[in-house]
A and B are shown apart, each in its own frame.
Chain A
Amino acid sequence: QQQVKQSPQSLIVQKGGISIINCAYENTAFDYFPWYQQFPGKGPALLIAIRPDVSEKKEGRFTISFNKSAKQFSLHIMDSQPGDSATYFCAASNSETSGSRLTFGEGTQLTVNP
């Protein structure tokens, strides 16, 4: 019940296109859903995060869509750029019972072709 499922495993888009990564969770007690971006040899860096009281959050070219009833959330990267090529992880945590331990999805390797 602690799992977070992420798809696709890899994604190739053209420069200027839209990248979409999806995640699904099982634990309805999760109340914080961040997305992290990781470049090779670096630690994960927070990209954008959402809480279940809103259905969408946008920051620049990055948007999280959240569907509480379906227990799904997704990351949309508009106008994708070659510099966005990285691995993206969705995550979830339950702040009530287990601190802020993050349960991560499996990751999506995004390649943006110029």
Chain B
Amino acid sequence: DSGVTQTPKHLITATGQRVTLRCSPRSGDLSVYWYQQSLDQGLQFLIQYYNGEERAKGNILERFSAQQFPDLHSELNLSSLELGDSALYFCASSVTGIGETQYFGPGTRLLVL
């Protein structure tokens, strides 16, 4: 158990809908990362937050957004969902967010029908 929690574990929804994925980092970690894992794209970095501020952005679609709250938990919002958004979404956390180990949560499996 990495200490990173993610909810929900599974999510089934329809195209065009909006969902919110939640992540709680390890105690003491200030940085949160979101990654998407799909069969065709592999593990792809989406976005990083550090202590409430956006630090780095990857190939995140405009339909996707995230934020980190004062209690350091983070939410990833996915809107106008398409079939191709079906994937595993992982949250990871680290202490400072610079060149160190990232600890991954168990992931949320999203299925868009």
Contacts and interface: CB of A to CB of B under 8 A. Distances in A.
A107 B102 CA distance: 17
Given A98-B56, A100-B48, A101-B45, A45 B98 contact: no
10 interchain residue pairs of minimum CB distance: A95-B99, A43-B104, A104-B43, A99-B56, A101-B45, A99-B55, A44-B104, A95-B98, A32-B99, A43-B106
Contact of A103 (B45, B94, B98, B101): B45
Contacts of B44: 104
Chain B interface size, as a band, is 20 to 34
Interface of B: 2, 4, 31, 33, 35, 42-45, 48, 50, 55-56, 58, 90, 92, 94, 97-107
A34 B99 contact: no
Interface residues of A, number: 24
B11 to A, nearest CB: 15
A92 to B, nearest CB: 11
Interface of A: 31-32, 34, 36, 41-46, 49, 89, 93, 95, 98-107
A39 to B, nearest CB: 11
B56 A49 contact: no
